[in-house]
Amino acid sequence: MSAIAFRLNGRPVTVEAGGGRMLLWVLRTDFSLTGSKYGCGSSLCGACTVVVDGEAVRSCELPLESVQGKDVTTIEGLEHGGRLHPLQQAFIDHGALQCGYCTPGMLMSAYALLKKRPGLGREAIAQAMEDHLCRCGAHGRILDAIAEVSAKGGRP
Amino acid sequence: MSAHGLDRREFLGVLGGGIVVFVSLGPSSLDGQQPRLRYPEDLNAYLRIDEKGRVWIFSGKIEMGQGVMTSQAQMAAEELGVPLSSIEMVLGDTDQCPWDMGTFGSMTTRMFGPALRAAAAEGRAVLTGLASKKLGVSPDALVVENGVVYVRADRSKKVSYAQLAQGKKISRLVDGKAVLRATRDFTVMGQSPKRMDARAKVTGHAEYAGDVRLPGMLYARILRPRAHGATLTSVDVSAARALPGVTVVQQDDLVAVLHADPEAAGRALMDIKAEWQTPPAAVDQDSIFDYLVQRAPAPAVRLMKGDPTAARAAAARVFESTYRSGYRAHAPMEPHTAVAEMKDGRMTVWASTQTPFPARDAIARALGLPATDVRVITPFVGGGFGGKSSGRQALEAARLARITGKPVQVAWTRGEEFFYDAFDPASEVKLASAVDASGRIVLWDYQVYCAGDRGTELFYDIPSAAIRTYGSWGGGAGANGHLFAVGAWRAPGANTNVFAAESQVDIMAAAAGIDPLEFRLRNTSDARMRRVLQAAAGAFGWKAAPGPSGAGRGVACGIDAGSYVALMAEVAVDRKTGHVQVKRVVAAQDMGTIVNPDGARMQMEGCVTMGLGYVFSEEVRFHGGEILDRNFGTYHLPRFSWVPRIETVLVKNDEVAPQGGGEPTIVPMGAVVANAIFDATGARLYRLPMTPERVLAALPPKA
Ligand code: FES
Ligand code: FES
């Protein structure tokens, strides 16, 4: 069996290929990176979102094979040396979470979004986040948090 | 360990040193505390000031997003006189925390809060007493700040809680004699500290039940029926059993496959061949209402006042309406999950549950273990809203762990979550009312099926009124004719009831040609309700006009969990598509003394946002016992684009103790939007959700 090699939160890793596995379960099971959540398993909620080569993708339906040679960042990779990413800090400051289950996915999407399109306004952010679900109804504060970082040019 | 039946002194010995104050909510709240375990039997919670001066609060309540971890800590910190940072919360662990019935009904702050505050105040009294001896001055001459007791007149004389607790073993049962701090003196309550759980949640380190990792853990997938009421006629597990690494369990009604890899377990499940016999479908989401009304139990008379029969006969016009609401799913983002491990004869289960103690007792019963040998630990819960009260998944995990002898995780798929959810029941309200020539409501005849009486409380001054409830919102499968389980959904029954009542009030206001706000004020003398209505109107900039004014503005109000709330909304209706956009919502709430203003606003905003779901889209479709909506592709939750500008107004009322805040604002959401749609278009909607098709059908034909 061949192996799939990729960078995970900056570290090179390899996983045995085969079996039609999805990245979410590899992250959660093989690496115990449990920050990425299962919410629907069908790319409908966004709880499992990770960033692959700069793009926010839903890991619940992302075949492991497709990350061969790529750079994967999960919520656990957002903080650097104990320093929170400005988005994480903004989520805390704005109270942009309640149960927190959607939070990692929200943050990873926002992270990829602002990297690609810095300075985006609240309205455009809302559009880009449209397919992320939050049952607790933290939407308004999530947008406030992302918009604040966006306005500041949000770099770690 | 036989900690059974400890008295308080022995219990303190088990805990180690320090000062412990036990909380008892009185006999009624202890009903059902059987078997009594490990604690002196009259306790609901306790707090301990340890020899380092840290304060530990042990409470059976759980954190599912509503923010009680922070608000409880604030209450204790305030009364004890310690900084918030010295508080450690231990929640929902049946070994470490005394019995608690569960976290629901907005009761944590209302019922448990006062007891916790009293315990903390008692703790402060004990410590001040010790300080008084040590410093040789009377307790009156002392002040407490940040866990240090000072002599008021000479602050160089001081002693810290840590020093005072050193070497002590003191326990007290709170007697309510210690005086609570006055609202005007608050330094921690009434503030908005950042959530104590925020950092863990933004870094991905917050642990939910599904994140528990145990060596050798297997992931289980369980064979499920296609429909409720279906029976298994044949099952063939041979293909699944042949797969490498797969364990198959077949015991009574439980057929499961387990594997060290969750996806492999999922594939093995597909290899099980099962035949089901499904009873013919008799009913669906449209025919359910008549079906339930026909099967309704006899009514309970909740209110009978004046002479409704005579009032009806005397009325110039009686407004008769029927309101309906479909089944609603809880759909927390985290599906039900549990991890169970049997070790040294004891069963430990990590579960996403709102009711750790009842779950523990159910597991003990099912496995034939003494409850002392079962421990339920509740990590962070990824949303509950009333839906995580059954503990079914915890029981499944425990059974499988016992059978296999391995740690087992049961994590429901989204499809299982929809299937086993105890929905907010489909329900119907029949209402007859009348108004006199001066715009006063003179008759209120209210009958509700399957939603109970929450939200029916009458705050309008109506001389003749009857309120009858046929069945309630609760019950397992089969209750009141439902084909599947129904249960508590954020403010159970009140969303249905307030939708009906506040729509009806609007209908009468419009018929009387009176502005709907003015009409409400004219008909209620309840000071708290008048205040929230006026506060909402002020913030909204309400312009009086009888409906329909064309502006698309609505008002609705209600009482829930001891709090008063008034909502105003502005909507835009697309007459071609029936799509309704809520542009703005103002929510004014009087929740008594406010523990955490920002936490309260967060809950209010969450209520408005979550409420948009049941207002516009949420209705579970089914065909007999078969649930047709099993994921978010067809069951639509509110999204970013739906969310209006939300303004929250906290109406100060320090006269009243803290009241519930997690539910009240959601209850008038149906009516405020329905009333705004009416104001925009003249169309009245009587059924939730108000889907575009239903809005289109209700629109008056274009002139
Ligand atoms: S779990 Fe992947 S999108 Fe919902
Ligand atoms: S914070 Fe609970 S789902 Fe978003």
In the residue annotation, B518 being an active-site residue is answered as no
Return the pLDDT at B279.
93
Encoding tokens for residue B292?
């339930």
Tell me whether residue A38 is in a domain. Answer: yes
Q: Is A39 in the pocket of ligand 1 (CB under 6 A)?
A: yes
The reply to whether B437 and B525 lie within a common domain is yes
Mean pLDDT of B180-194: 91
Assess whether pLDDT exceeds 60 at residue B554: yes
Compute the count of residue pairs across chains A and B with CB atoms less than 8 Å apart. 175
The reply to whether B484 and B599 lie within a common domain is yes
- The band of B608, judged by pLDDT with boundaries at 50, 70 and 90, is very high
Tell me whether residue B418 is in a domain. Answer: no
- Select from B606, B608, B631 the Cβ nearest to the Cβ of A44: B631
Token pair 């149906």 is found at: B670
Query: CA geometry: angle at B497 spanning B667 and B495, to 5°?
Result: 30
The reply to whether B590 and B616 lie within a common domain is yes
The range of the structural domain enclosing residue A11 comes to 2-77
Residue B107, Cβ neighbours under 10 Å: how many? 18
Q: How far is the CA of B405 from the centre of ligand 1 (A)?
A: 31
- The band of B529, judged by pLDDT with boundaries at 50, 70 and 90, is very high
User: What's the CATH code of the domain at A28?
Assistant: 3.10.20.30
Q: What is the mean pLDDT of chain B?
A: 92
In Å, how far are B75, B544, B594 from B186, measured between CA atoms? 10, 39, 11
Per cent of chain B over pLDDT 70 is 93
Per cent of chain B over pLDDT 90 is 81
The reply to whether B19 and B133 lie within a common domain is yes
The reply to whether A139 and A121 lie within a common domain is yes
Tell me whether residue B283 is in a domain. Answer: no
The reply to whether A8 and A73 lie within a common domain is yes
CA–CA distance, B133 with B118 (Å, rounded to integer): 23
- The band of B179, judged by pLDDT with boundaries at 50, 70 and 90, is confident
The reply to whether A69 and A91 lie within a common domain is no
Query: CA geometry: angle at B509 spanning B504 and B515, to 5°?
Result: 135
Q: Which of these three, B381, B411, B441, is where a domain ends?
A: B411
Q: Half-sphere exposure (CA, 13 Å, Cβ side) for A144? A: 15
Assess whether pLDDT exceeds 80 at residue B4: no
Q: Which of A102, A106, A107, A131 to mutate to test the pocket of ligand 2 (most atoms within 8 A of CB)?
A: A102
Tell me whether residue A156 is in a domain. Answer: no
The reply to whether A19 and A69 lie within a common domain is yes
Tell me whether residue B416 is in a domain. Answer: no
Catalytically annotated residue among B275, B619, B663, B693 = B663
Give residues 71 to 110 of A whose Cβ lies within 8 Å of B. Answer: 74-76, 78-79, 84, 88, 91-93, 95, 97-104, 107
Spacing of C-alpha A23 from chain mean position: 13
Q: In a mutagenesis test of the A interface, which of B191, B596, B640, B641 is the best target, namely the one with the most A β-carbons within 10 Å?
A: B640
Q: What is the DSSP letter of B93?
A: B
Q: In a mutagenesis test of the A interface, which of B68, B103, B201 is the best target, namely the one with the most A β-carbons within 10 Å?
A: B201
Q: Which of these three, B203, B220, B241, is where a domain ends?
A: B203
Q: What predicted TM-score, i.e. pTM, was given to this entire model?
A: 0.94
Assess whether pLDDT exceeds 70 at residue A124: yes
Q: Point out the least confidently predicted range of A46-60, B101-115, B180-194.
A: B101-115
Q: What is the DSSP letter of B482?
A: -
Q: How far is the CA of A47 from the centre of ligand 1 (A)?
A: 5
- The band of B59, judged by pLDDT with boundaries at 50, 70 and 90, is confident
Higher-pLDDT residue of A122, B60: A122
The reply to whether B323 and B344 lie within a common domain is no
The reply to whether B270 and B306 lie within a common domain is no
Tell me the chain B residues in contact with residue A74 when contact means C-beta distances shorter than 8 Å. Answer: 204
Closest ligand 2 atom to the C-alpha of B332?
3
Token pair 């809005």 is found at: B695
The reply to whether B379 and B257 lie within a common domain is yes
Q: Which of these three, B203, B219, B242, is where a domain ends?
A: B203
Tell me whether residue B123 is in a domain. Answer: yes
- Select from A36, A41, A140 the Cβ nearest to the Cβ of B643: A140
- Select from A29, A101, A138 the Cβ nearest to the Cβ of B382: A101
The reply to whether B350 and B499 lie within a common domain is no
Structural domain total, chain B: 3
Assess whether pLDDT exceeds 80 at residue B40: no
The answer to whether A63 faces chain B, any CB pair under 8 Å, is no
Tell me whether residue A94 is in a domain. Answer: yes
The range of the structural domain enclosing residue B55 comes to 8-203
The reply to whether B128 and B236 lie within a common domain is no
Return the pLDDT at B476.
67
Encoding tokens for residue B531?
């205040």
| 8 A C-beta contact, residue B374 and residue B347 | yes
User: What's the CATH code of the domain at B397?
Assistant: 3.30.365.10
The reply to whether B24 and B141 lie within a common domain is yes
Tell me whether residue B550 is in a domain. Answer: yes
Return the pLDDT at B168.
85
Dihedral angle sign, alpha carbons of residues A62, A65, A69, A73? positive
ipTM: 0.97
Mean pLDDT of B524-529: 98
Encoding tokens for residue B29?
């709240």
Tell me whether residue A93 is in a domain. Answer: yes
Tell me whether residue A54 is in a domain. Answer: yes
User: What's the CATH code of the domain at A142?
Assistant: 1.10.150.120
Structural domain total, chain A: 2
| 8 A C-beta contact, residue B390 and residue B419 | no
The reply to whether A43 and A92 lie within a common domain is no
Return the pLDDT at B684.
98
The reply to whether A26 and A65 lie within a common domain is yes
Q: Which of these three, A77, A98, A120, is where a domain ends?
A: A77
Mean pLDDT of A78-107: 96
Tell me whether residue B282 is in a domain. Answer: no
The reply to whether B129 and B220 lie within a common domain is no
The reply to whether A61 and A114 lie within a common domain is no
The reply to whether B516 and B395 lie within a common domain is no
The reply to whether A73 and A140 lie within a common domain is no
The reply to whether A70 and A14 lie within a common domain is yes
The per-residue b/e assignment along B478-514, b for 16 or more CB within 10 angstroms, e otherwise, is: ebbbbbbbbbbbbbbbbbbbbbbbbbbbbbbbbebeb
Q: What is the DSSP letter of A102?
A: S
Tell me the chain B residues in contact with residue A107 when contact means C-beta distances shorter than 8 Å. Answer: 202
The reply to whether A6 and A62 lie within a common domain is yes
In Å, how far are A9, A77, A78, B126 from A72, measured between CA atoms? 6, 9, 11, 55
